[in-house]
């Protein structure tokens, strides 16, 4: 009866470790990419809702919080606010004629390279 040698077992453990390392890296990258896409989609949704709000109220909202109120008494809120995938609030930034919606990204700080902004040319 022949068993495995210590060398054979160590080779298998090293191979499994390498596979786990490379696989784990790709899982983490996929998770980050997915989080960014979720945040981008939510920014676009809030941007579109801000323009729907404008059509109803004849003005752009000053903040996302303003859009949680009902348009008319007795109705439910216009929209619900959720946090981005990193637990931060989305931010509505208003200029003269339009708005942009921003997620502060993974670092949670504004005006850094990982911010996600919609429309994309507003960043």
Return the domain boundaries, the chain: 6-122
User: What's residue 1's pLDDT?
Assistant: 63
Average pLDDT, integer, range 80-91: 95
pTM value is: 0.80
| Percent of the chain residues topping a pLDDT of 70 | 98
User: What's residue 74's pLDDT?
Assistant: 85
Q: What is the tens place of the pLDDT at every residue in 20-71? A: 998 989 999 999 999 999 999 999 999 999 999 999 999 999 999 999 988 8
- In the CATH hierarchy, which top-level class contains the domain 6-122? alpha beta
Examine the pLDDT at 3 and tell me if it is beyond 90: no
Using CA atoms of 58, 60, 65, 69 in order, give the dihedral in degrees to the nearest 10: 10
Containing 118, the helix (H) or strand (E) segment is strand 116-118
User: What's residue 123's pLDDT?
Assistant: 60
- CA nearest 61: which of 53, 69, 52, 73? 53
């Amino acid at each position: 009866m022949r068993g495995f040698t210590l060398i054979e077992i160590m080779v298998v453990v090293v191979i499994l470790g390498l596979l786990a390392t490379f696989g784990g890296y790709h899982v983490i990258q996929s998770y980050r990419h997915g989080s960014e896409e979720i945040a981008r989609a939510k920014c676009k949704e809030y941007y579109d809702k801000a323009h729907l709000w404008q059509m109803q109220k004849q003005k752009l909202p000053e903040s996302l919080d303003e859009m949680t109120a009902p348009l008319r008494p007795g109705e439910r809120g216009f929209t619900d606010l959720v946090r981005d995938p990193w637990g931060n609030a989305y931010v509505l930034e208003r200029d003269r004629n339009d708005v942009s919606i921003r997620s502060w990204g993974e670092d949670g700080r504004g005006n850094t390279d990982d911010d996600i902004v919609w429309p994309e040319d507003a960043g």
